[in-house]
Structures are given as C-alpha cells and as structure tokens.
Structure 1
C-alpha cells in the first residue's frame, strides 16, 4: 500500500511540475515519518523551479548543496548554520509527530508529518504568492496563503505569527527566489538534447522508443504509421529523473513483424533543445535487441524513483500542490497550537 501511494504521488508530481515559463518558484519541504523502514525519519529539501538546491536528512545530519551555484554564492559558514537549524527542525518535527499520534489515539503504524512552504513570482506581471501548509497522514491540519498583485494584498487561513509569515513568504522569500534564479540561470535555463534509441527484447516483443539524458523535462514522444500519428497499441511511460538531473521517458509500440514489412513505422521525439525532431525509422538496422531489456528497464525505473524520493523528496510537493490546484482541503483542526510554532516555515533550515 505504501509503495502504491508513493507511486501515485510521484505521478501527480510529474503532472503538475510543468509550470509556465514566466512563473518562478521556490519551495521548501520538510517531512517526518514514523514506522517507515529504510528511509530517513526526517528530510528537508529546498528547490528553485523544481530543482533541488539544498538537502538535509536525519541520517547524514548536515545540510549539503545540490547545485554548484548554491555552493558558490554563500558565505563559508552558511552550511554550518543551516545544519544547526535543520537539527532543531528535526527534533521539533519528531516531537510534533509524537504529539499528533497521541492526539489521534494512535499507538503504531505508518505516519507522516509534512510541511511545505514557499513562494511564486511571475516575472512578467510582477505578482507574487506565498503558502505554508502542514499535513498529517496526508490531511491538511494547518494552511496559510498570501498573494500580492500590484499593491493589493489578499490572505487566507489563520496561523500564529501571521504578520511574520506574510513578511517572509512575500518579501524575504521572493527576494531569495530572485537572487537564486539569477545565480542558477545557467542551470535552470539549460537545454540538453535527448539520446534516442529503439529497443526490443526479441522480435515478438513490443518495440520501445527510449529517450534519455534530456533537460528540461517537457518532451513529446509519438509513433507514426505511414506518416499518420498512431495511438492504438501504444503505451507511453512516465517521465523519470536520472541521477545527473536529466530525464528519461519511453514509449512502447506493439507491432507484428509482418506489419513492420508492410507499413512504415517511425518514432518522433520533440524537445526544446532540438533544432529539428529526432525521427527513428522502425527497421532491423535501427532496433537494438537485448534479452535483459525488461530487467534493465526495471532497474532504471527503480533508480529514478529512488532518486526522486530520497534525493529530493519532491513527491511530497506533488501531493500538496495537487490538493491546492484542485481546491481539496479535507481536514482541518481547531487545535492549531498542536503544531510546534518553532517549526514554522519562516524559520526553515533551508534558506
């Protein structure tokens, strides 16, 4: 059940992570878990436009940069200070998850306490937006939103230290975001073309068009028969992260050897890094066969999922953003004080 939930969240993340070019985002996520083996009990990650730049977990107990530009633009004591703050957050979250279990009369099982906060900046209109969510076992328990269009402010939700949060989310956070976008411009705006190959386990297996090593994430992979787009017998896989920060995707076509001789099949890959589309013709010369292809692909998927979950824990973000975009808010609590105010978004270890 846990694996299925993570997979669902991961799919949601990939669906909502494609933001419009004019909107820049900075997000901070902290997650505490109880009863989940083989992963850190506490993880915090900071991201700009979906790219992790800071990371801390309860196993390594230190904050580390995930981007070269982050290492170069901070003072020598930044990571030492941030590690200290992260450790305090870790203790606070563990205490809060224990209190929540007592509040809901829970004595065991798997439980999660999540906090996501951050800001968005539209560099065309100048509008800004901030948010600060807490969730326990996937349910909202505390939320605060603030938006500024021109000189007009709007705020929803109640929270302790509201003025402090508003100042951080729409002033300090936006300032940090603009600074980070400036320093990370070469990383965030880079374009890396995909490597495309046709793969097949044996002549009776589906043919897979595999594109990998591309950035940014958005890509189109399609099949054609005699020049016409083909949708039947086509299975499009998920876009998965590679460990180097690029992405991969596959699309499989079930076609018989007889049809391959009668019709002309092609796989077309479109990506913003390409001056012209990559078109692979489905013929014996182009197809690479490997009896272990299915196993190799399974390993690749596992690596991608582990990278997404443990390196950046961005699946948590997808879950919260999905609820926000869909207007979902199933659970709230009148006991706002049950959350330790010291673990509020404004005092994050991932500045």
Structure 2
C-alpha cells in the first residue's frame, strides 16, 4: 500500500465516526472518497451510506457493484433488482465524475502541483428532527485531508473553509454550478431518504447493560462513581446520576457515545461524591433507552455489592454441597462389605468424537435493501 493511502483512509473514516446523534434525530450520511488512481487496498472511487450510524451500502470502482452491508436490512425480489439498476447508475457516475473531479481539483489548488496524488473527500449528511420536522443538510468537501467547502441547507449557501476555495464557493452561489448541486442534499430529498431507509433498521434494537464502579479518592481528588453502559442500539441514550429522586448535584462528566465494533455503543458517565459524608449508595445511575420502552434501567453501587454477596453465597453453598457429597462417598466406601472399584479410564478409539477435532461451518447470511449511489440519483 502506498504511503499516502493510510492517512487517506484514517481521515476518511474519521469523518464517518465523528458524529453525534441527538434524541429524536435521524440521519443519513454519504461518504465518498475520490482519488486519481487506484492503489492496493484503495479504489479510485469509494462511496458508503450510513443510516443512523449503521453502515447500509457501499460502492467502489473496483467491484463496480452497489451492495448492502448491513445484516439488519431486509431484501426481496424488488430490492434485488434495484441493486442491479443502482450499480449501473453508479458506473455512469464514475465516468461523469472523472472529468468534473479533475477540473475541481485544478481550480481549488491554485498553488504549485502537489507532490502526492490528489484525493477528495465528500461528506454529505442530512438530519430530520422528529419533534419539529426540521431538516438540516450539510455537505463538506476536503482536498488532501484539508477542509475546502461547506454547504448548509438552512442558509442555502456554500462557504469556503480555505482561501484557495473562496472563488469556487462564490461561483457556485452565483451560478448554481451543476457539480455543486449534484453533491448536496436538498431538504426535500433528505426527508424522502430518511423515510425510505428508516424502516430497514426499525426492528434492530439492543438493550443496554450497566455497571457502577467506585473510584477511591486521593489527596487531590474526591471519590468518584462511574456508570458504564454498553451494548445498546440505537445510538441515542440518556444516562444521568440521581440522588433522592432528583438529578444529583455536581458536575457529571461523560465519555461521549463510542462504538463497540459490533454495531452497538457504549458510554461512561461519572460524578464526584465530594468531601462531605455522602455514601455511594445514595446515588443512582439512571439509563433511558428506546429498547427499554417506558422503563428505565437503574443501577446503584449498593445493588452491585448485594449482587456480589449473593454470588459469593451461591459459591460457598456449592462448595459445602461438594464437601458433603465427598464425605458421604467416603463414608459409604468405608462401610463393611462395600464394593471397591476397579475404575478404568475411558479409552480413545479411532474415529470417535475424541480422536479428531471437530470442524464447524459458519451459517451463511445474505441481505439486500433499496437505495442508490448518492450522486447518480440527485
């Protein structure tokens, strides 16, 4: 892999991960990477779509196929036919964008030619607020990892993020450049895409689990309670500390919502107990998530201690039971007339379960959905 490929991939996927989902806000994101030449591990053009942070589909110029990438997306004959049509549209977009991309790169980069090949990143995001019905769409262009242009639907304007791109932004605002229009989300299309794609992932939910840890204090810092919540989907979640039925006083620090790598998420929220004599059991970590319905998950340090004590009691009971069984066996074997052995170890025979390792084949899984190459349909 060429040396310049790694920073491209790192910054490209960083754009896809650095997003914050708010409660009641749905999001569709398109991420596109365009480079002048293909190298091992990186095609000339790569496009992916995410729906509420789930990877939905992907297209690259090497395979020249638009394909689903989520096991939660259902499929039928109609959507299967759509994949074929969508792939054809994306191939048409390949030939169109080749010349447009080259022209835009030359116009933006007015300085001396780059030592390394040009690459362009395009991030298009649209959000729909369920509560207000408001739609917010943003398109960003980056050139060689540096932000260049930004479009905001609420202001219906292009803004230059770099001095080298201000002429392009002004011209697109003045003339409505075709290349610009084809690479942004209009509010109407944003609303349509979200309503189209949300049913594909509506059935996917995962309930959170929570654990509370007590961090001992030091001379410089008081004790802290940390509530670690993990394994939940969708991404939106509320985690707060309460005391006496009210939001606990004091600053509550959060790690932010982080991906787990298996399509679920995790978050940590901590609170300082202060110097006063406040016991950790007085604080309750409250978790509210759509997978829980109207219920909430409540976890305290005291409840975990009780749970651990119960586990220890069960272990102690098992040990006592084993000792009792052993004592009874010893007594029975010591009785007059008791029959003793002999016991023979089991022999391993060729061709039996224990003579050769077993192999397992993973079950196959296929899925499909209805969507399209982002630029081909705009």
**Please, what TM-score do these two structures have when normalized by structure 2?**
0.52
Distance 2:258 2:147 in 1: 23
Inter-partner Cα distance in structure 2 for 1:246 and 1:125: 27
2:104 aligned with 1:84, yes or no?
no
Structure 2 CA distance for aligned equivalents of residues 210 and 350 of structure 1: 43
Which residue is 2:305 aligned to?
Answer: 285
Distance 1:234 1:130 in 2: 31
Matching residue within 59, 68, 78 for 1:56 = 59
Counterpart CA distance in 1 for 2:147 and 2:107 is 13
Work out whether residues 44 and 57 of structure 1, in 8 Å CA contact, stay in contact via their aligned partners in 2: yes
Structure 1: segments with no counterpart, 5+ residues: 149-154, 289-344
Q: Which residue matches 2:329?
A: none
1:240-285 residue CA offsets vs partner (Å, 9 max, x unmatched): 1233323211113455999575762321112233232211111362
The reply on whether 1:139 has 2:148 as its aligned counterpart is yes
2: CA distance, partners of 1:232 / 1:66: 43
| 1:218 corresponding residue in structure 2 | 236
- Aligned positions of 1:81-160 closer than 5 A: 81=88, 84-85=91-92, 88=95, 95=102, 99=106, 103-105=110-112, 107-108=114-115, 113-117=120-124, 134-136=141-143, 137-140=146-149, 143=151, 158-160=175-177
Distance 1:91 1:147, change over 3 A: same
- Please give the secondary structure, in 2, of the residue aligned with 1:138: strand
Partners of 1:196 and 1:232 in 2: how far apart?
21
2:53–2:235 Cα contact (<8 Å) kept? no
Aligned to 1:46: 49
**Partner secondary structure for residue 209 of structure 1:** strand
Asked if the contact 1:128–1:147 (Cα under 8 Å) also holds between the matched residues in 2, the reply is no
Q: 1:262 to 1:124 in 2, by over 3 A?
A: closer
Deviations 1:144-200 (A, max 9, x none): 85999xxxxxx96533338985999577x469626723xx41514654321112246
- Bigger shift: 209-218 or 121-130? 121-130
C-alpha contact 2:33 2:120 (8 A) present in aligned 1? yes
Segment of structure 1 superposing worse, 237-246 or 48-57? 48-57
Residue 320 of structure 2 corresponds to none
Q: In the alignment, what sits opposite 1:297?
A: none
Q: Give the C-alpha shift of residue 69 in structure 1.
A: 2.9
Instruction: Specify whether residues 214 and 277 from structure 1 end up closer, same or farther in structure 2 by C-alpha distance, changes over 3 A only.
Output: same
Residue in structure 1 matched with residue 73 of structure 2 by the alignment: 69
Residues 286/196 of structure 1: CA separation in 2 closer, same or farther (3 Å cut) = farther
TM-score norm. by structure 1 comes to 0.55
The 1:256/1:77 distance shift into structure 2, 3 A limit, reads same
CA RMSD of aligned residues (A): 5.4
Structure 2 vs 1, CA of residues 276 and 124 (structure 1 numbering), >3 Å: closer, same or farther?
closer
DSSP 3-state at the match of 1:285:
helix
1:12, CA displacement in angstroms?
A: 6.1
- The structure whose RCO (Cα within 8 Å, separation 6+) is larger is 1
State the number of aligned residues: 278
Aligned residues of 1:33 and 1:42 also touching (Cα < 8 A): yes
Counterpart selection for 1:236 from 254, 260, 267: 254
Counterpart selection for 1:193 from 207, 223, 229:
207
CA gap of 1:143–1:160, structure 2 versus 1, over 3 A, is: same
Q: Deviations over 1:90-122 (max 9, x none)?
A: 856874686368523253479762334476678
CA distance in 2, matches of 1:157, 1:192: 48
- Greater strand share, 1 or 2? 1
Structure 1, 185-194 or 2-11: larger mean CA deviation: 2-11
